[in-house]
Amino acid sequence: MSLQGKTIVVTGACSGIGAETARLMRLQGARVIGVDRNDPMLTLDGFVKVDLSEQAAIDDAVRQLPERIDALANVAGVPGTAPADAVARVNYLGLRHLTEKLVPRMSAGASVVNVSSILGYFYRDRLDLHKALAETPGFEAGLAWLARHPVPQATCYEYFKEALIVWSTQRAFPLFQKHGVRMNCVAPGPVFTPILGEFVKQLGEARVQADASRMLRPGFADEMAPVIAWLCSDDARWIVGANVPVDGGFAATYL
């Protein structure tokens, strides 16, 4: 795998999976531009500080990003302990808006990789709702739709990861057909990151204990990063619309 000479934007680049992805991509020869609401604590080739929950802030960030981009890794996200509105904005609406704004800067062969989650596994249970949200034409329209179809706080993280998988899958082939841009998802299971404790609070002790038998251990951020980087590389040039579990077999236990 080589990313030599590619310009790649990584959101959430200052910690966790995003930071490990940025490090690995630079080692593979990429020019990495980080996007985050926090200041960077690692070497990057460029950095834009932005609140991905606000459309105007995203539009301003887009103006600061390179005119040519070879890949976008959407890693930034907030846990389900954040207000449901923030989860909707960052984990879905903001990600979607940033992606659509950057696609015109991508040439054939470029890649978008969205970090979903194993918690999005049951998206088929709410497929019609997720398809309806995916059809909303933009950030504000998405907010208006959600105002009419409120998402409970208790399940907001799962809901918007499910929605992300559905939107990414639906959008993947049109992007590939029209622009030659590939879109895929990576679905981590539990991962040792700074917000792992927030997921324990979100799911509750009973759910955490029940899930413990489904895995050997939580993953490490540097076990997620190579899959994201590979999907951004030319080696993955014929993979479109996939949602790749990187979970130590967690998803397989549901069959």
For the domain 7-241, what is the CATH superfamily, name and number? NAD(P)-binding Rossmann-like Domain (3.40.50.720)
Query: Which residues pair with residue 219 across a beta bridge?
Result: 191
pLDDT in tens, 16-42: 999 999 999 999 999 999 999 999 999
Query: Which residues pair with residue 113 across a beta bridge?
Result: 73, 184
pLDDT in tens, 114-145: 999 999 999 999 999 999 999 999 999 999 99
Predicted pLDDT at 198? 74
- Residue 106 gets which letter from DSSP? P
- pLDDT above 70 coverage of the chain, percent: 99
Distance of CA 11 to the CA centre of its chain: 8
The Cα 29–Cα 48 span in angstroms is 20
Q: What is the mean pLDDT of the chain?
A: 95
Catalytic center residues: 157
Mean pLDDT of 186-199: 85
Mean pLDDT of 149-161: 97
Nearest to 8 by CA among 33, 26, 41: 33
Predicted pLDDT at 254? 86
The Cα 227–Cα 79 span in angstroms is 22
Nearest to 130 by CA among 80, 96, 101, 153: 96
The tokens of 169 are what?
Answer: 């899958």
Domain ranges of the chain: 7-241
